Amino acid sequence: MHGSLMLDIAGTWLTAEDRQLLRQPQVGGLILFSRNIEDPRQVRELSAAIRAVRPDLLLAVDQEGGRVQRLRQGFVRLPAMRALADNPNAEMLAEQCGWIMATEVLAVGLDLSFAPVLDLDHQRSAVVGSRAFEGDAQRASLLAGAFIRGMNAAGMAACGKHFPGHGWAEADSHVAIPVDERSLEDIRATDLLPFRQLSRQLAAVMPAHVIYPQVDAGPAGFSRRWLQDILRGELGFGGVIFSDDLSMAGAHVVGDAASRI
């Protein structure tokens, strides 16, 4: 899937135009959003229709729990991950949530949920907030690791996001370009820890549409410094790097730079 595109479609079934687009060789995957989803049966039928056109496509969805849960009607409503942290059985619950989430996503014919969130809850970012497991890096790593074990037990690979950490920058990257002014040393000591500790358990990583000006001038998702030097080199990550949604404001500064990473 090197350099391939992950597309989305408009509705709950495939149009002739969708089928034509999915046949293009540069398309490697398709992500479903809420507008594409009615109930489990419809998603299964849509998945089957997509695979009839392209059996090799990677089919993905954002199914984290809490407010980021695209599959809702007819699916288990998972808690926000932050709600697990205060429970004495938090680690076991995180593993069970990972297993339930992955089992349900796989059962409707999809391959991957972009989960877990490895951002830290610094009580600053409205876009992260309760999607994070914890504010403490060690505890976030522990609980996210348990969630990944559950996903893996169900047969799903994990995608950690949003590298190197979206929990400090305050703007929402869907509408603005968030900036995190901290030094690389500060980020290494906190937000980078879950990615470092779990890098061997992650099949994929999704970078943040955040600019860390003390490290690089561009957003992390298009930065050789972040992706090649730090993620690949320093953390030894050998898996897939997914760009976050290129229609988001944070991606607009880069145009076609994605093809060069």
Predicted local distance difference test score (pLDDT) of residue 174: 62
Report the amino acid identity of residue 99.
W
- Of 256 and 107, more confident: 107
From CA 135, how far away is CA 50, in angstroms rounded?
Answer: 39
The pTM of the full predicted model, rounded to 2 decimals, is: 0.89
Higher pLDDT, 248 or 237: 237
Q: Which residues are catalytic?
A: 174, 244
Determine the Cα–Cα distance for residues 44 and 240; give it in Å rounded to an integer.
Answer: 25
Q: What is the mean pLDDT of residues 144-150?
A: 98
**Is residue 228 scored above 90 in pLDDT?**
yes
Per-residue pLDDT band for 258 (boundaries 50, 70, 90) equals very low
Whole-number pLDDT of residue 173:
56
